[in-house]
Amino acid sequence: MYITRIDIAGLEAAPSAEGIRAHVAITSDKGRILVDCTLAEAQPDTPKRTMALMHEAIRQLRRMPEYRNGRHQIRLADGLLA
């Protein structure tokens, strides 16, 4: 899978017992995948929070069976997580 874009929507940054939540859309050559993400601690500023949500979405994607067992690779477009 070659990831070309990551979008974050539905960000709920209000303090709660769950932390902050967002819906992360990963666009790749295989289509679009939606991932629900929760961060235990709210990051102090928006760029760090956005980056943390992007990393969490990719972490969840890598746990899917087709990627966890090494049959398929996940590649990111240059500068996507920069």
pTM of the model: 0.82
Tell whether 34 is covered by a domain. Answer: yes
Residue that is written with structure tokens 């819906």 in the block = 23
Tell whether 82 is covered by a domain. Answer: no
State how many domains the chain has: 1
- Give the strand order in the sheet containing 31-39: 31-39, 20-28, 2-12, 75-76
**Domain of residue 47, residue span:** 2-76
Tell whether 81 is covered by a domain. Answer: no
| pLDDT tens sequence for the chain (82 residues) | 999 999 998 877 655 566 788 899 999 999 999 999 988 865 566 788 889 999 999 999 999 998 888 888 999 999 988 7
Tell whether 41 is covered by a domain. Answer: yes
